[in-house]
């Protein structure tokens, strides 16, 4: 299976009763393992948690901390970028050159590096020497 296949498959499990906007994400860690996540909404927080955050949480729960590649797919007319919070989470676990593919169900894709997705990301180095 490809990361696209994994992201499409997990997208079907998204819990989106308020927006009906399902998103799936799959990442490959530095070890080669694949982790996936989908968005989850709830009545108190209808925008819910993001698919990317779910995939990252699964990776960390498995004891890994480095994203080698990320794929995100949504049922939209154009590829949808991750929210600001997820961009920061991605930057926490991926190098600036790590590639992120944003895709639609019909196969339209946009590929960006993490550095392009979140220029000027806040990092540990900002806290050094203070």
Binding residues: 39-45, 50, 83, 86
Distance CA 120, CA 27 (A): 22
Torsion of CA 63, 14, 24, 84, to 10 degrees: -80
Helices (H) and strands (E) in the chain, counts: 4, 7
Q: Considering Cα of 47, then 100, then 118, then 93, what sign does the dihedral take?
A: positive
Catalytic residue IDs: 52
Annotated binding residues for Zn(2+), written as ranges, equal 50, 83, 86
Separation between Cα atoms, residue 63 and residue 15, nearest integer Å: 26
């Amino acid at each position: 299976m490809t990361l696209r296949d994994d992201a499409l498959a997990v997208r079907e499990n998204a819990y989106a009763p308020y927006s009906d906007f399902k998103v799936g994400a799959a990442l490959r860690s530095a070890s080669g393992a694949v982790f996936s996540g989908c968005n989850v909404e709830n009545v108190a927080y209808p925008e819910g948690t993001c698919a990317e955050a779910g995939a990252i949480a699964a990776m960390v729960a498995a004891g890994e901390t480095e994203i080698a590649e990320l794929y995100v797919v949504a049922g939209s007319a154009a590829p949808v970028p991750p929210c600001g919070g997820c961009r920061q989470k991605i930057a926490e676990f991926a190098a600036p050159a790590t590639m992120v593919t944003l895709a639609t169900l019909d196969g339209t894709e946009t590929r960006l590096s993490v550095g392009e997705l979140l220029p000027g990301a806040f990092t540990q180095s900002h806290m050094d020497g203070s």
